[in-house]
Structure 1
Amino acid sequence: MSATRPRRAVLALSGLNLAGKLLAIGKTLIIATLFGTSGVLDAFWVAYSLPLMLPNLLTTVITVAFVPRFVKSLEGRTGADAWRGANTLFTLAIGVSLLACAAIQLWTGALVHRLAPGLAPENQQQAIAMIRLMLPCMLMLTLSSLLSALSNARERFVLPGLDGIVNNSAIILVALLLARELGVRALIAGITLGFFVQLCILAFGNRDLFRSSLRPAFALGHPDFLRPLAHLLPLLVGSVGAMLTGLVDQYFVSRLDAGSISALTYATMMAMLPVEVFAQAIITSYYPSLGRGVAAGDHTAVAATWRSGQRLILLLTLPCAVLLVGLAKPIVIVLLEHGRFDERSTALTVEAMSLLAIGMVFRSQAYFSYRVLHSMVRPWTQVFIGLAGVATCVGLNLLWAQRLGLRGVALSAVLSQLQSSLLAAIVVRRLLRAGAPAQRPLSAPLLLPLGVLAAGILLARVIVPAGLYEASHRLWAIACGLATLPAGLAAFALAWRLGLPEARDIGARLRARRARPRGAGGS
């Protein structure tokens, strides 16, 4: 299949993701202004992670395992009988979510103590209370995960892509209205509202399947249920391993100064923004094409799709990494340094963000390569790569977390992501070597634009007078950002002149969109 259709979907999803992430930046700004990097906010982030862990796990497991099976056997088929195996999978996922809600309700205190032993006793109690308030979100997010998997498998990407817009808008609205009365619990109210609205949107978008095919089922012997199990088990193990990395980081950071969990969360949000805006859109849009290529036995098409996606990810994430590393401090000052987010909070966040932005590129590449492995139904390979990354992260944290603080935790994450990215790429290349088309590597022509961008950032920091920082942190940060704009434009123009296909494709689409109103209006 031509890469044109996935690229169109990438542009649409990138637009939705960008809108959602701009709202996420607004949400983060409001949280930082209201709560800074306080102990009570650390308690909120611990509470936020636990109830949503299982639904996020199900999102990955169901989406990745279901899409290839849907493409192979369910596409175009309707009716409760045809969907009996898939319905059994969905019914069990909902049942597991309900059981997990009950277990968390019973053992909340023990879980909080194990996950964040360094929290002050009062903050641990706050985390316990907030976790119990968020338990309804667990079931809502599970249902949304299943409906998003269905939508993506049917290549209906828009409604799942609204998730960031809906949820962040709800959190912003409720926080602005209720933060004074409810404190940090206003964030929980906003999260609950956002999940409910997004669930309603997804249910409406899949209403045809509710009428024709989706029913509770317990056909444990059905082939459409049994076949994905061989894929689901290793995927589940691998996803649990990936989540362990975040829990390990939280465990070690909880033993640092109060507010460190919040600072790491802010840094991760900012550094991983290009993953959510660009890489996730590419991964989601290209995955059905990878599944179809594997189903048809066309490894040449799979290799072409993988290489095209890899190039597009690098083209979009590498410049973002350069900007995030070079402008970490100005970005944090402009976006977050308000209200209770003070200079100490800025220093902590920049310390982690400057490293995590590098790991963002490696994580994007690893995630895309994982989708190739899952399309080829080789999930255990991804499991071993992921668990090796977890082991590396744990070992490095044991060496560095106490000595280097947040910098050590971030460096451990970056090196483990680099390891996973390299291993995944090596395995995919070996699997697709027979069908891999010859293609010019992206790295060589991209180095020059990246050099221009990096030089522009350094020059901007030199040009902007140091005395301006003492006069006004915010003015200094804005001046640094504005001085970097010409370098960014020059870097993209150079990439276009060097003939990078993705840069030319983006430029052509921008010109086409600009010219469309002057053309025939009926199309």
Structure 2
Amino acid sequence: MQPKTLFRTSLILIAATAAYKVLGFAEKVALAHFFGTSTTADAYLAGAAVVLLMGFLLGDIAGPTLVPMILHDQTNSPRTLRASLGLVSLAAVPLTGLGWLYAAQLAHLFGPGFDQPTLLMTATIIRIGLLAFPVMCFTAVLGAWYQAFEQFTRPALADLMLKLAPVIALIATGSVYGLAWGLVVGAVLRLMPLLQADVPWLPSWRWRGARLTTVLQHAYPLLLTSLVSVHLISVIENAIASTVGAGAVAAQTYARRIVEVPIILLPQVLGRVLFPVLTSLVLQRNYQALQQWLARCWRWSLLLTLPLMVLGMVLCQQIVALLLQRGAFDQQSVQLTSTALWAALPGLPALALSTLLIRFSYAMGDTRWPSVMRVLGALLQIGLALWWRRWGLAGLGWATTVSLWAETLALAWLAQKTVQQPIKLDWRFMGQVLGASSVAGGLAWWVIQSWQPSSPSSLLLSLTSASTLGLIGFVVSLVLGRNAEIGLLWQHWRQGRIR
């Protein structure tokens, strides 16, 4: 993929995933409006986390497992895809049945601090949501085919259905169970656009010659990684938060969604777009180009997330109030959520960097050691959360932050070993970005302290002014410091290479 094509594809995918994230956040805003940080919100978020744990688990391993095989042997790739769909179909149905039978036990396991009515509500939500599980598994495998052939737009637009349907259902019914049924409908609508005539989507149970053994060998480390360090960790976080107090699960989830928005908009999108490119470079054994891509992604990740981290920490209470304070979401809910947000924001740069480093390792064909790193990071987070939960939501947030940085540093060391060349740290660049981010935070703090908003409109205006002035100060500081990446971007723009 050429740089100009890569840039345009990234913009399209950023727009689609931005819409996805906006709809996902709209779901949380609607949930906050109807239920605030009540036990009803806690029940839905805990039950939905269990369902999404099972539904999205395969999505994290299908791409890294199947994409290299499809690109390496395109002649037999339809057979491999159809056999993978057949295997997934056989596994998903009995797992759904088990989830139905043991929904009450799952609710108690992942919400140990809930009272009995909340546990019953959580179990009902789990049973409804699990109807979407087989469909979500089927969609995950099909998505790997589109990703291998660099067709990102259709899957990204289809993903919107998974968020749009629950929002409509909640607004229409005002019921938490209506929201759960909306998740099921959204999963079905998400699958339908992917069933194209030129895609081998019919499952096959004739597995001879389909290389399923190779698929499973590559998949099991990713399965362990995704299960423990991505999805299961969020469910365990909810379980620990349920012991902190009523509303803690909801407050922590709202804060997590706010933190994840910048990750969806750039590093995760960039990682998805670059994955086929990196895989092709690996097949060509072009390690110098791989190192250049890695260094540039690292610099731009810091360049874009550090100022967001500082501005978010300065303005966290105002951000939560503007986004969520309406209906049942009162001042106490604002305080709970902003506390969780403030403690989680220092992990934002690490989350962005680890997202890119994981994709880089997968492209190199290394799924084992990244899996080990991420599992160890998840275990560290759980241990710290259990130790620091005495400090409430702030302790849980700092447990996430510390474990994210430890995992990211380990992944960076692993990437250095993989390219067989030392990654040179540009301390001047890091100093410039940190200094410019401090300037942005100081300007934003001055604006918000000088302007005490008294209404939602004035709060929006004060936040916009503080953020804009902070970002202007950030860019000006980088320009005055002659930051290399800013200068290179300006040079490319003048040459017409980024348009």
Q: Provide the TM-score with structure 1 as the length reference.
A: 0.88
Partner in structure 1 of residue 392 of structure 2: 405
AA aligned opposite 1:315:
L
Q: 1:439 and 1:23, CA in 2 relative to 1: closer, same or farther beyond 3 A?
A: same
Partner in structure 1 of residue 99 of structure 2: 104
Partner in structure 1 of residue 438 of structure 2: 451
Partner in structure 2 of residue 131 of structure 1: 126
Partner in structure 2 of residue 13 of structure 1: 13
**1:257-336, aligned counterparts within 5 Å?**
257-336=245-324
Confirm or deny: 8 A CA contact 1:310 1:365 kept in the other structure. yes
> Which of 145, 148, 160 is 2:143 aligned to?
148
Confirm or deny: 8 A CA contact 1:144 1:199 kept in the other structure. yes
**1:85-484, aligned counterparts within 5 Å?**
85-163=80-158, 165-179=160-174, 183-203=175-195, 206-210=196-200, 214-222=201-209, 224-242=211-229, 243-401=231-389, 403-434=390-421, 442-465=429-452, 468=453, 471-472=454-455, 475-476=458-459, 478-484=461-467
AA aligned opposite 2:21:
K
Q: 1:117 and 1:369, CA in 2 relative to 1: closer, same or farther beyond 3 A?
A: same
C-alpha RMSD of matched pairs (Å): 2.7
Distance 2:495 2:178 in 1: 44
Deviates more, 1:147-156 or 1:158-167: 158-167
Q: Secondary structure at the match of 1:156?
A: coil
List 4+ stretches of structure 1 deviating above 4 A: 1-4, 435-442, 471-474, 506-514
Distance 1:507 1:193 in 2: 48
Confirm or deny: 8 A CA contact 2:160 2:190 kept in the other structure. no
**Distance apart, 1:297 and its partner CA:** 1.4
**Distance apart, 1:435 and its partner CA:** 8.7
Distance 1:82 1:189 in 2: 35
Aligned-pair identity (%)? 22
Deviates more, 1:426-435 or 1:135-144: 426-435
AA aligned opposite 1:334:
L
Distance 2:38 2:272 in 1: 36
Q: 1:505 and 1:141, CA in 2 relative to 1: closer, same or farther beyond 3 A?
A: farther
**Distance apart, 1:105 and its partner CA:** 0.9
Confirm or deny: 8 A CA contact 1:315 1:502 kept in the other structure. no
Partner in structure 1 of residue 23 of structure 2: 23
**Distance apart, 1:248 and its partner CA:** 2.2
Distance 1:96 1:127 in 2: 24
For these two proteins, the number of residue pairs brought into alignment is: 497
Q: Deviations over 1:222-271 (max 9, x none)?
A: 36322232211111111111133212211211112111111111010111
**Distance apart, 1:476 and its partner CA:** 4.2
Confirm or deny: 8 A CA contact 2:322 2:459 kept in the other structure. no
AA aligned opposite 1:191:
L
Distance 1:282 1:299 in 2: 19
AA aligned opposite 2:86:
T
**Distance apart, 1:417 and its partner CA:** 0.6
Distance 1:302 1:513 in 2: 21
Distance 2:493 2:86 in 1: 43
Confirm or deny: 8 A CA contact 1:166 1:198 kept in the other structure. yes
Partner in structure 2 of residue 519 of structure 1: none
**Distance apart, 1:44 and its partner CA:** 0.7
Partner in structure 2 of residue 59 of structure 1: 59
Partner in structure 1 of residue 485 of structure 2: 501
Q: Secondary structure at the match of 1:222?
A: coil
Partner in structure 1 of residue 50 of structure 2: 50
Q: 1:513 and 1:368, CA in 2 relative to 1: closer, same or farther beyond 3 A?
A: closer
Q: Provide the TM-score with structure 2 as the length reference.
A: 0.92
Q: Secondary structure at the match of 2:365?
A: coil
**Distance apart, 1:144 and its partner CA:** 1.8
Distance 1:263 1:303 in 2: 40
Distance 1:349 1:436 in 2: 38
AA aligned opposite 2:297:
G
Distance 1:510 1:147 in 2: 40
**Distance apart, 1:32 and its partner CA:** 0.9
Unaligned runs of 5+ in 2: none
Q: Deviations over 1:450-487 (max 9, x none)?
A: 2321121121123214xx4xx44763464243233122
Q: 1:82 and 1:322, CA in 2 relative to 1: closer, same or farther beyond 3 A?
A: closer
Q: Deviations over 1:109-159 (max 9, x none)?
A: 111111111111001111111111112211221122122221111111112
